[in-house]
Structure 1
Amino acid sequence: MAVRTIVPWTVISLALTAPMVAHAASQSLDELVVVGSRAPAQISQVPGTVWVLEGEELEQQFQSGQDLKTVIGKLVPSMDLAPETRTNYGQNMRGRSVLVMIDGVSLNGSRGLSRQFDSIDPFNIDRIEVLSGATAIYGGGSTGGIVNIITRKGREGDAQFSTELGASSGFNNTEDRTFRVGQSIAGGNETIKGRLAIAAQDNGAMYDGNGDPIMPDISQTDLQYNRSVDVLGSTQIRIDDNQSLDLTAQFYRSRYEGDQGVWLGPMLSEINDPEIRDGFSSDRDPETERYMFNLAYQHGDFLGHTAYLQASMRNEESAFHPYPYRRATAPQSYFGASSQETRQYLVKGLLAKDLGDVRLNYGIDLDREDFSASQMIFENMAAFSSGGLVFDEEFTVDRYPDYRVEGIAAYLQAEWDATERLQLNAGIRQRYARLEMEDFVGTQQAVEVERGLASGADAIPGGESDYDVTLVNVGAIYNLPEDHQIWANFSQGFEIPDPGKVAGRGSYSLTGGRYVLTDSLNIDDNPIPGLETNQVELGWRTYQANWDAQVAAYYTWSDKEAETNRTTLTVDVVDRKTRDYGLEGALTWYANEQWYVGGTGHYVRSEVEDDDGDWQKNVVTAASLPNATAFVRWQDNLTSVRLQGSRAFDIEDDAGDEIDGYTTFDLMAARKLPLGRINVAVTNLLDEQYDTVWGQRAQLFYGYEELFDFKGQGRTYSLTYSVDY
């Protein structure tokens, strides 16, 4: 890997940088990076497992036509392989949820929408930084790890342009195609520089290894016939020798633009034998739309400290595909499509002080999130008689209770060089948060009131829950001779379970034509408990002239579990101990200047404790699949070729359910031209026919085996041309 110094400000205290999975040259442990202490540090100062994807290696992966979550899943061992749809539900790290950020701005929300990777076009990504495992330093949502996506920035000099054109197809028919285009302009001087870019992608249909069309996903939605646009602008201002300012703004939209849908037969008579047909139209189409603004300020000498300040705003709306809600009588049944809006505001301040053998980082985080959701109800006659193809709005009701989560957190992180070889790390984070939830009428009852089937319905009470959480981390790093290093750490993570699915539930009885509430979860009297995760990790890494390696073993446990009810798809928080333990690692060997080979692997086991105190396998709808990758690469001054394979291993639980794994191979080649560069790739090289992990989980969640039979995409050819000028 090329040795470089990373300027920390664009990610202030929130970026994570360390060795790449695939390397171009070796790197020193003394390389300066921005890592888990939320301020610049060397790799040798990080008591944890850190990965970075960047440079030509990352660019080649993206230009092979693979999306963001697929690339991360194949290159980061602790990350599950991608589910191959719009959702990243179940794509965990070390068996737990992952916090995803863009330039330090969180894409996670308290409502688990699982669309964090439907967020940015690869054309605008400079590098991706990953920290495996729970961390107390970043607070909520990071119980399994952190993925921070760093965007491309402007450079000094005259106007610099970049153009990228790409296309992918499996050549099954004219609808089997994807087109990509990106254009940027950048430039500036010592005082101010910037970049403005627009990137777009237009998808057609997708086909499996047998050449058959893949069933569209009417539950979480997929990316067939999807068009996305990503407009990203950034400006970096050097105020003086000590001060700098970074401004970033993004508009991102990813939306279904087709006319194909899933035909379920008149009155759902063929729901067990669905077909893909033309004629789909809806007043609410699946989409993700987001506006994001980020301001980052740095002062190099503020009262003897380096000061960092970040303020950001994210407004995101996610809409879903119309879905059939079947009830005992026809008037009570309906097709509905939800739209959920998250508005997030963050202010984060950090002071860093170097005292020689001791380094201190401390600061305050402020956050607020507002959530609302609606359910568009469609006219029954058109929806049911068309077999689920025509959706005209009848009315709109609430889907989940409106709520607000706001909080404040203070933290202190310290590093001490105890000896020339031993470094000790410790930190504490204290967070206070409040959840405020509005009253809410159950969606089914609201639908029947709107249709005149009931005169009214009681509201499920809202309320407030308070959280006062202390998280700690303790670590040690010992430097062995010849650039070998071992570390150990204990760290904690915390998250509030999905309020929309934990609360907002009630039991009703129809009395005198009115729905009367008989039972409900009142969070004033029954607060939603937070989920605290504890992790112990042991690791070793080295960077040698001809080989690099990193290995870590971990054990993670919690005293509570957020359990998804397969019947209602709501979430129950239960007092049940859970644990995940495993081993992750990567190895790269540089045979010579042209050849190198390597691989990654992750073994993970997820378990829950039963009523007798015995440990059982966690259900397959929640447990992660072990995985492994291997690659061989050849390169010279003009050409590079990479062959890689990925394997997801089978898992099963004690209830008899199982998820079947699969193996795919990808071949990628790049050639530098007199002007620009061309990339050619074949993904799923052997045209493997397999069921996606999400498809298998969806069948367990929803039933209807044929309707949720989501196959993996078959052999696909990609051609991309890129040029900087």
Structure 2
Amino acid sequence: MPHRSTAFAAPHLALTTLAATLMSLGAQAQTAGDAPAVTPPPTPEQVVVTATRGGKAVEKIPGAVSVIGRSEIEAQGLVSEDPSALLAVQVPGYAPSRQKLSNFGEGLRGRNALLLLDGIPQTNPLRLGGREGYFADPMIVQRIEVVSGASAVQGMGATGGIVNTITRTPQTPGTHQTVELKYSTQGHSNSQGWKAGYMLEHLSEGENPYDVLLYLGKREQDIGVDGDGRYLATESLHEARDAYLKLGQQVGTQRFQLMLNQFHADGFDDWVDVDGDRATGLPTSAQHGTLDWQAPRNQVRSTSLEWSDSDLAGGVASVQLFKQTFSARYTGGVITTFQDASLAPTGTLVDQSQIDADKWGLRSSWVRPDFGLHGLEFTGGVDLLHDTSSQTLTMTGRTWVPPLKYRSLAPFTQLEYTWNDLTLRAGLRHENSHLNVDSYTTLAFYGNREVQGGTRDSAKLVKSLGGVWRFGDSGWSSFVSYNEGFGMPDVGLILRAIKTAGQSVDSLVDLQPIVTYNRELGLAWRGAGASFSASVYDSRSSLGSQLVVSNGIGTVQRVPIQVKGFEFSGQWRVLPTLKLDASYALTRGRTAAAAGQPLDLDLGARSQGPDKLVMAGQWDFAPDWSSRLTVSHFRPRNANEDKLSGTTSLAEHFSGYTVLDLATSWHSRWGDLGLGVENLLNRQYFTYYGQANYSGGNDDYYAGRGRTFTVSWKRQF
């Protein structure tokens, strides 16, 4: 289970995370939610979170925070290296994994989360294609920080929260090499998988140390089977490769750092789907075959150059210049939307789409403690983002979504005051956005409409306010917070589907930004051997964005959205060798069928996950031996009974399921040995989105993965 906290983290959690945060002064310059910032070493009672712009002890953050440490990442990696599966187990409000290349529908508290890699946005602001979840190998990750709920501090896209992946930095002087090997099987043909990774770490000694980290890794996974031994559908990941390099140099109080990460993921090119049957409960399967299009693919390259100074005018200054390129190719076929009688007879044209995004930007901040008053901390900075996104049909060279040229400039400031057991925080961020789109023509399916290009500008002052009260030495604390989040609707979906003649970009009110208002109240307690945290929240947006599929055609509707929820997490150290964890999340989202209508629709599976209960027990049953059993229970959900969009029923039905995962590790003299078992009881079940999505057909009725054994060996020398 994660180092999870609503207002406080338990001391034994802090000790685990401490290993991830204590390092040389140069390594302390690394932050994740911002450009690097050097912070003093945390005390043993602190879990330091950097996703809030500048390292901050979790007990001073007015909000729900989850910190997934290296030990949790490694334990989950024995079961599955799916990043969404890790988040679903560790973060209460995160929706279940689809177990596919796509993370579409895997929301956080019913909304989209801003995904970051060392502060570099991985989420595409204008064309959210559901492929942004795969961008790094778990081996290079030190920890993951999740701030649930709308966030003004990180800016555009954080309407549901922040998922900040922080990469590793060498912490021990000298040169160290690590080799990792994994092999998995389900005991069936075409179900094997393997992974090989090599990591080199070097940290020099001396007054101005430098550090180097290099990682090369490759993973392959065959098609696999469900609990009944039937082949799974083909949308899952087949092969992944990662090349990662980080170089750092400390010069006095300054640190310079260069990071490059290139991640490549491929789907299957020698398997084709076999339709299932929703009426009879037969899942979509696969068989060997030849594609008439190229295999699905993800390519992500992230680069950053960072500078920080731990003592600039009495504060910590940091600047990060970053660039990220993203390309996602989707499954092709004879797709109705792609048909054009001028190119081929209707019903025969094969095509597939690809999203390309190129972004660069700058993130800067200055954090000054005791800013004219003891206990008062000032944070200020400015963020700049340039993004160009488009979607093309690769086999015919047609434009589906024209290049969307987006620029965002956002200065921000925040004040935090701590007086005895009270911490108060208030912040402002001024989002200034500019969108430019050239004239273009829609596809034949939409009538070959000429759309006049234009620009759209928006400006919004988003606010945050909160406080944490610690009740002396009793172990109790509470927080209250109000946060606003800013994001753009999926502009690509809106512009590609225009069917009315005479439209222009600058007259489409649907391009107005999404502003989310999140109110939250939390309570926490921690004792010597146990802790818990709980919170209730209310998240609202008067102009949200919902994709509605009617009669097979998807359109974006700008309608109000309201999400209410309750989250709980707790831990109990029963014995020195036995620890129990539990978390529960209840989510209730509502929206309207159209603008101006009441909120009488349940938020669908494209946005909201089911209620879930996760329980885990970790038993260190012998010296150097540890075993963890995790039980994940996703509650049944029935939504929008007798509700229609056109003639399409919006009803969603999910029967729920429970799966058990087991991970066992042994730290031996020959290296770290591990055994993981996913779906221990070989449960036959349907994934949440595959079963609940009301617009699903027989081609995407996906079953979950059956029992899978993974053995691993890792050795450092």
TM over 0.5: yes
Select 2:481's aligned residue among 465, 489, 492: 489
Mapped to 2, the partners of 1:678 and 1:287 lie a distance apart of 32
Structure 1's 75 and 375: CA in aligned 2 closer, same or farther, altered over 3 A?
same
- Structure 2 spans left out of the alignment, 5+ residues: 1-12, 277-281, 644-650
The answer to whether the 8 A contact 1:13-1:308 is kept is no
Indicate whether 1:63 and 2:74 are aligned.
no
Indicate whether 1:93 and 2:86 are aligned.
no
Structure 1's 264 and 549: CA in aligned 2 closer, same or farther, altered over 3 A?
closer
Match of 2:224 in 1: 206
Counterpart amino acid of residue 130 in structure 1: V
Structure 1's 424 and 704: CA in aligned 2 closer, same or farther, altered over 3 A?
closer
Match of 1:10 in 2: 30
Mapped to 2, the partners of 1:32 and 1:61 lie a distance apart of 21
The answer to whether the 8 A contact 1:28-1:543 is kept is no
Indicate whether 1:120 and 2:102 are aligned.
no
Indicate whether 1:633 and 2:618 are aligned.
yes
The answer to whether the 8 A contact 1:563-1:573 is kept is yes
Select 2:365's aligned residue among 324, 345, 350: 350
Shift of residue 317, structure 1, vs aligned partner? 0.8
1:95-244 alignment to 2 at 5 Å? Answer: 95-110=110-125, 111-173=127-189, 175-190=190-205, 191-216=209-234, 221-223=235-237, 226-240=238-252, 242-244=253-255
Select 1:572's aligned residue among 556, 579, 585: 556
Shift of residue 527, structure 1, vs aligned partner? 5.9
SS of equivalent residue, structure 1 residue 671? strand
Mapped to 2, the partners of 1:416 and 1:621 lie a distance apart of 40
User: How many residues matched?
Assistant: 662
Structure 1's 51 and 437: CA in aligned 2 closer, same or farther, altered over 3 A?
same
Shift of residue 647, structure 1, vs aligned partner? 1.0
The answer to whether the 8 A contact 2:151-2:485 is kept is yes
Match of 2:435 in 1: 435
Shift of residue 441, structure 1, vs aligned partner? 1.6
Match of 2:635 in 1: 649
1:400-411 alignment to 2 at 5 Å? Answer: 400-411=401-412
Counterpart amino acid of residue 89 in structure 2: K
Select 1:677's aligned residue among 666, 672, 677: 672
Indicate whether 1:663 and 2:658 are aligned.
yes
SS of equivalent residue, structure 1 residue 139? coil
Shift of residue 300, structure 1, vs aligned partner? 1.8
Shift of residue 72, structure 1, vs aligned partner? 1.3
Structure 1's 553 and 259: CA in aligned 2 closer, same or farther, altered over 3 A?
same
1:133-532 alignment to 2 at 5 Å? Answer: 133-173=149-189, 175-190=190-205, 191-216=209-234, 221-223=235-237, 226-240=238-252, 242-262=253-273, 276-326=286-336, 331-333=345-347, 334-355=349-370, 356-377=374-395, 395-417=396-418, 419-444=419-444, 459-481=450-472, 482-507=474-499, 518-520=501-503, 522-524=505-507, 526=509, 528-532=511-515
Shift of residue 251, structure 1, vs aligned partner? 1.1
Mapped to 2, the partners of 1:469 and 1:227 lie a distance apart of 42
Mapped to 1, the partners of 2:633 and 2:677 lie a distance apart of 17
Structure 1's 163 and 399: CA in aligned 2 closer, same or farther, altered over 3 A?
same
Mapped to 1, the partners of 2:59 and 2:435 lie a distance apart of 39
Match of 1:514 in 2: none
Indicate whether 1:721 and 2:716 are aligned.
no
The answer to whether the 8 A contact 2:284-2:703 is kept is no
The answer to whether the 8 A contact 1:16-1:148 is kept is no
**Please, what is the CA RMSD of the aligned residues?**
2.5
Indicate whether 1:597 and 2:580 are aligned.
yes
Mapped to 2, the partners of 1:284 and 1:548 lie a distance apart of 51
Shift of residue 505, structure 1, vs aligned partner? 3.3
- Structure 1 spans left out of the alignment, 5+ residues: 18-26, 266-271, 378-394, 449-456, 509-517
Shift of residue 179, structure 1, vs aligned partner? 0.5
Mapped to 2, the partners of 1:650 and 1:521 lie a distance apart of 44
Mapped to 2, the partners of 1:29 and 1:47 lie a distance apart of 21
1:515-554 alignment to 2 at 5 Å? Answer: 518-520=501-503, 522-524=505-507, 526=509, 528-554=511-537
Shift of residue 443, structure 1, vs aligned partner? 2.4
Mapped to 2, the partners of 1:609 and 1:229 lie a distance apart of 43
The answer to whether the 8 A contact 2:231-2:287 is kept is no
Mapped to 2, the partners of 1:285 and 1:143 lie a distance apart of 32
Counterpart amino acid of residue 687 in structure 1: N
Shift of residue 689, structure 1, vs aligned partner? 0.8
Structure 1's 29 and 529: CA in aligned 2 closer, same or farther, altered over 3 A?
farther
The answer to whether the 8 A contact 2:124-2:132 is kept is no
Shift of residue 431, structure 1, vs aligned partner? 1.0
Shift of residue 282, structure 1, vs aligned partner? 4.5
Mapped to 1, the partners of 2:425 and 2:200 lie a distance apart of 42
Mapped to 2, the partners of 1:478 and 1:180 lie a distance apart of 47
Match of 2:10 in 1: none
Mapped to 1, the partners of 2:366 and 2:477 lie a distance apart of 28
Counterpart amino acid of residue 399 in structure 1: W
SS of equivalent residue, structure 1 residue 70? helix
TM-score, length of structure 2 as denominator length:
0.88
Match of 1:688 in 2: 683
Q: Note the alpha carbon deviations across 1:13-39, whole angstroms, 9 max, x for none.
A: 53999xxxxxxxxx9895151345411
Structure 1's 620 and 550: CA in aligned 2 closer, same or farther, altered over 3 A?
same
Mapped to 1, the partners of 2:506 and 2:654 lie a distance apart of 36
SS of equivalent residue, structure 1 residue 95? coil
Counterpart amino acid of residue 490 in structure 2: D
The answer to whether the 8 A contact 2:109-2:608 is kept is no
Shift of residue 521, structure 1, vs aligned partner? 5.1
* Paired-residue identity, %: 20
Shift of residue 159, structure 1, vs aligned partner? 2.1
Mapped to 2, the partners of 1:308 and 1:637 lie a distance apart of 43
Counterpart amino acid of residue 617 in structure 1: D
Mapped to 1, the partners of 2:105 and 2:283 lie a distance apart of 27
Shift of residue 41, structure 1, vs aligned partner? 2.1
Match of 2:5 in 1: none
Mapped to 2, the partners of 1:151 and 1:345 lie a distance apart of 19
The answer to whether the 8 A contact 2:31-2:50 is kept is no
The answer to whether the 8 A contact 2:31-2:54 is kept is no
Mapped to 1, the partners of 2:414 and 2:132 lie a distance apart of 28
Mapped to 2, the partners of 1:422 and 1:704 lie a distance apart of 54
Mapped to 2, the partners of 1:562 and 1:375 lie a distance apart of 25
Match of 2:279 in 1: none
Mapped to 2, the partners of 1:103 and 1:95 lie a distance apart of 24
SS of equivalent residue, structure 2 residue 496? coil
Structure 1's 651 and 160: CA in aligned 2 closer, same or farther, altered over 3 A?
same
